[in-house]
Amino acid sequence: MKWLQGGTRRKLAGDLPKYPAGSKVEAEIRLLAVVTPDGSIRVLTPAQKADSRLEEAALKEVRYWRFEPLKVSQSQVDQTCEITFLFTLK
């Protein structure tokens, strides 16, 4: 996870995506998440096109992630985070 404006916020809740059944490809999936001050995800989009099944698996899980809220002393603005998953065959 890379916060594009710098800094860090911990992920508090949410599962990692699962490799979709029947898919036989490997790919790196990068998503851009706009995270609100309260830690919920406002917008989630692919940052790099790849296999649509892997992309959908990542989007399906990450849209429910929650991050730690911003402290009251911090500027209460949305922040953008790049999230990368490497799907590999085993």
From residue 49, how far is each of 20, 29, 41, 56, 78 by CA, in Å? 17, 8, 20, 11, 24
Are 41 and 33 in contact, with CB atoms under 8 Å apart? yes
Is residue 90 scored above 80 in pLDDT? no
> 56-85: per-residue pLDDT in tens?
999 999 999 999 999 999 889 999 999 999
Length of the chain equals: 90
Q: What is the domain class of 2-15+27-87 according to CATH?
A: alpha beta
Sign of the dihedral through C-alpha 10, 79, 8, 26 = positive
**What ranges do the domains of the chain cover?**
2-15+27-87
What was the pLDDT predicted at 20?
Answer: 87
What was the pLDDT predicted at 28?
Answer: 93
Tokens found for residue 57: 């698996």
What was the pLDDT predicted at 6?
Answer: 81
Are 22 and 69 in contact, with CB atoms under 8 Å apart? no
Choice between 5 and 39, residue whose per-residue pLDDT is larger: 39
Q: Quote the distance between the C-alpha of residue 15 and its chain's center.
A: 11
> 14-72: per-residue pLDDT in tens?
999 999 888 888 999 999 999 999 999 999 999 987 888 999 999 999 999 999 999 99
